[in-house]
Structure 1
């Protein structure tokens, strides 16, 4: 029975993820999983470290993030009645183009969408959609949230947009951590999936490595929210099952719907991402024909000499030697 975790938080999910990348990858290898995804909250901080670590241990790296979707335009920084400040959406890079688009989305979220969390919206997701696989995420995703609050028509509207944009690369996501709200809403997700012809994939919302680590993770949440652990009103996950489960454990949980676990392997097979860290990526600057030079080095020297004359009209020997020294280093 094969299964890969497609919803995994590392310590780069700041003050929420309680598992180090090396430990997570080693555990995936120990469980004989062929691949593993990184989906930290709203960022790609750990993506390169994760990629290299996976390659070192012969585990296929799946680079992604659990993005924060704004309920309206990403630049709108105010509460909207009946909406959360942001919703979750899992986005995975299928290939190098997808990875570049993930970078664009993450950067845009921090630069343009920050409102408590770094957020994107559908407009920018549509712009940078190529090479991406998307799942509807956890209970905090738009579709699950709308179904849970009896707003099925809105859930359908959101799903239709993702289906139109991503086609077969969009999946409904379900999880089972023994949380009552999950038991209430996920039958509705199954029903909607049948109605709309969307495949369902099962994940585990991994935030720590082993069963029993939930106590340490709970303390981490207290640090994040600035609450005492004995505060009855503080944020709690309400489960001890956010650990990296084995394939056997996952098939035991979803024994009557094993196809939702097999769909994790379908996504795994779609991933074809290779990153070359030895390649030098330098920008190219077009040279105006009117400048009368043939190379970038000649153009740089011409611009430097012009600038030096503006700052040092007499162009003394010391200035010329320093200029030539620095240009020689660059060349």
Structure 2
């Protein structure tokens, strides 16, 4: 019987962060005997359909999710003049309602952030769009851990209460063990808070790449992302522990907290949602002329052709071009793309 499910995988769609391709992820999950696997890319769902389809074909249940940046207070400005990246929460989809809420939150993260800021949402947005979503507290990069690292235990407790209120019965206190000092510094307080508030613990591994042998290549990827050099001492680094570990490895790592492992299976059972493929939803273009998009595209195309014929830039007989234009327009109309072409031309 399966003992662990990865709930925190960054695919290659976490641009310049993750290095897990969908086929590699599906293969590793299947070979490990995992019944499910969750992908939580940073503030996006770019690969959700491809990943879900590929993982499902391997006989593994895909869990849809994302790592959402949440700002509790305005982030401080760094020496380079940019704002520090806000802490993040992994959100996992339970239902179609949850998927719609996650898309709304991700859209708000980009549309409502100030220019120059990292994409993020406020806590109020989470409260408004939490239905159908399971939340983890975020590990070392989460808001609760950030407060604990600053010595603000009371504030961390208050925030945990607020998150438990927003995600009623759907919040898990996340523990990670990559041998990082910030993990060791906060784990005892996290466990104490979880037990005191009767919140379930969950074990995760912040997966960025497949095998340990990929560590150096992934390290170079981080250097590209940050504009740094591999030889630099003072730069961002991960560890070889940020690989796709087997259930046996995770069981050994969390042998003292079997409940945290069991809860990964419980979460997988609660997230039996898979996004189904659908036809593209194209934007609607309303011509100012009052014509239909088909007629507007035809009028603009014929005007453009007339201008080119007038200056003799075309060599064949005019009728040849008119026939070709009519043919191209018929294909565009048949595919339902006239509005798209008008938007692009505008």
User: What secondary structure is seen at the aligned counterpart in 2 of 1:139?
Assistant: helix
Aligned to 1:124: 125
Give the Å deviation of 1:226. Answer: 0.5
Aligned to 1:101: 101
- Output one character per residue of 1:14-73: Cα deviation in whole Å (capped at 9) or x when no partner: 11112212101110001110000010111111111111111211111111111111133x
Give the Å deviation of 1:150. Answer: 1.0
In terms of mean alpha carbon deviation, does 97-106 or 261-270 score higher? 97-106
* Distance across 1 between alignment mates of 2:274 and 2:28: 22
User: What secondary structure is seen at the aligned counterpart in 1 of 2:169?
Assistant: helix
- Output one character per residue of 1:87-128: Cα deviation in whole Å (capped at 9) or x when no partner: 011111111111111111111111112544211111211221
* Distance across 1 between alignment mates of 2:65 and 2:214: 24
Q: Which 4+ runs in 1 deviate beyond 6 A?
A: 279-284
Summarize the Cα distance change of 1:278–1:240 in structure 2 as closer, same or farther, 3 Å threshold. Answer: closer
Give the Å deviation of 1:275. Answer: 2.6
* Distance across 1 between alignment mates of 2:13 and 2:283: 29
Aligned to 2:112: 112
Aligned to 2:263: 263
Count how many residue pairs are aligned between Structure 1 and Structure 2: 296
* Distance across 2 between alignment mates of 1:241 and 1:70: 28
- Say if 1:65 and 1:92, in contact at 8 Å, map to a contact too: yes
Give the Å deviation of 1:272. Answer: 2.3
- Say if 2:88 and 2:142, in contact at 8 Å, map to a contact too: yes
* Distance across 2 between alignment mates of 1:19 and 1:304: 48
* Distance across 1 between alignment mates of 2:236 and 2:283: 46
Aligned to 2:245: 245
Aligned to 1:90: 90
Aligned to 2:190: 189
* Distance across 2 between alignment mates of 1:207 and 1:77: 25
* Distance across 2 between alignment mates of 1:106 and 1:66: 9
- Say if 1:79 and 1:85, in contact at 8 Å, map to a contact too: no
Give the Å deviation of 1:2. Answer: 1.9
1:1-331 equivalences under 5 Å are 1-72=2-73, 79=77, 85-113=85-113, 115-237=116-238, 239-278=239-278, 304=291
- Say if 2:88 and 2:143, in contact at 8 Å, map to a contact too: yes
- Say if 1:71 and 1:85, in contact at 8 Å, map to a contact too: no
TM-score (normalizing by structure 2) = 0.78
Give the Å deviation of 1:304. Answer: 3.8
User: What secondary structure is seen at the aligned counterpart in 2 of 1:219?
Assistant: helix
TM-score (normalizing by structure 1) = 0.81
Q: CA RMSD in A?
A: 3.0
Unmatched tracts of structure 1, length 5 or more: 285-299, 313-321
* Distance across 1 between alignment mates of 2:87 and 2:213: 28
* Distance across 2 between alignment mates of 1:146 and 1:78: 15
* Distance across 2 between alignment mates of 1:255 and 1:196: 23
* Distance across 1 between alignment mates of 2:148 and 2:11: 29
- Output one character per residue of 1:252-304: Cα deviation in whole Å (capped at 9) or x when no partner: 001111110100011001012133325686899xxxxxxxxxxxxxxx9xx64
* Distance across 1 between alignment mates of 2:272 and 2:252: 29
Summarize the Cα distance change of 1:271–1:169 in structure 2 as closer, same or farther, 3 Å threshold. Answer: same
User: What secondary structure is seen at the aligned counterpart in 2 of 1:40?
Assistant: strand
